Copies of this chain bind each other. A is one copy, B any other.
Amino acid sequence: MTATDRRSTRRAPAAAHRPRLPAVAVDPVPERPAGGTTWQSLERLGGTVTGVHGRDWRPRYLQLAEELRVKITSGELAPGTLMPSETELADTSGLSRTSVRNAIRQLREWGLVRAEQGRGTYVRAPRQRVRRRNAERYQWEKDRVLLDEEERVKTGATEHDTGLTVDDLKFHAEFTRVKADADMAAALQVEPGAPLLRRVYWTSSRHENAPLTMSYSYLPYDLVAANPDLLDASKEPWPGGSQHQLYTVGVELDRIDEEVRARPPSPDEAELLDIDPGVSVLTVRKTSIDTTGRVVEVADVVMPGDRTELVYSHKLQRWKT
């Protein structure tokens, strides 16, 4: 069988290319993609399928991706399951391995599976949404500062967010002294080249799907140098958190600003946070301002976009009647 023969036999059952438009015509107003806590929000990611007697005009790799998505979200392929190998899927689906790989790339971008070289492709567990209640968390942290150390040690900020105990988490910290680049100089309102303390943290967990986070924090070096303990990474995690650290050098916070963005992960971040490149990270740039109006810390927090949920609450003032 020549290559040309094979292609023409395929054309009968296939019809791989759609004449465009049904997606919009059938469904002019996009459905609301529910922001659920499990696989729910992936319902409509595959695109619009044509009506009852209509043909499925989507490319075949997307059809395969959709088939597999249904098997996963329905539970037929349970979390942790080893998927059929690409070669096997190619055989059973009648597609080439390239097309099978295209389908699997979709599943990976949807966060449904993870591929491991040499081992196979595994079904991920549904995303366990982690709420980061930032607004109330900062006040809670501030209130704790003036408590006894014994009291502060008991639980830290990460546990407050996640409900996990200290034993579940591995904690990494690394401190360096750096010079402010243009970006940081502007953010911290210091001269470019000014000495900064750079702190890189990350938390990890043995639990599947546990929340992971990494953050890059910058403080004016002179500010923290007043307490040598603050320069020592081995003293982390500090009992009482960031705000208590600043308290030891005479700083009281007045305001915390946060800028939330989404962007693709760097390769390093993808590995550490256990996400596919292609799945976005959520980033929060946290700027802490003290009661004298100084910027005392700028921190970039990076979180896996498919597992994180940030919660903010805005209280409004009453009307004067």
Contacts and interface: CB of A to CB of B under 8 A. Distances in A.
A316 B139 contact: yes
A305 B263 contact: yes
Interface residues of A, number: 78
Interface stretch (A79-87, A89-97, A203-211, A306-314): A306-314
A33 B183 contact: no
Interface stretch (A1-9, A23-31, A158-166, A222-230): A23-31
Given A36-B183, A216-B32, A285-B35, A309 B259 contact: yes
Given A36-B183, A317-B142, A23 B268 contact: yes
Contacts of A29: 174, 200
Chain A, interface SS category: mixed
Given A35-B283, A314-B138, A308 B266 contact: no
Contacts of A255: 313-316
B200 A139 contact: no
A263 B306 contact: yes
Number of copies of this kind of chain in the complex: 2
Given A47-B267, A48-B267, A256-B313, A308 B261 contact: yes
Given A32-B300, A260-B309, A315 B45 contact: no
A256 B317 CA distance: 12
A186 to B, nearest CB: 10
A314 B256 contact: yes
Contacts of A308: 261-262
Contact of A262 (B110, B267, B282, B317): B282
Interface of A: 23-24, 27, 29-36, 40-41, 44-45, 47-48, 109-110, 131, 134-135, 138-139, 142, 145-146, 174, 181, 183, 198, 200, 214, 216, 252-264, 266-269, 271-272, 277-283, 285, 291, 300, 302, 305-306, 308-319
Which 6 pairs across A and B sit closest by C-beta, in order of nearness?
A262-B305, A280-B280, A30-B268, A32-B216, A260-B310, A262-B262
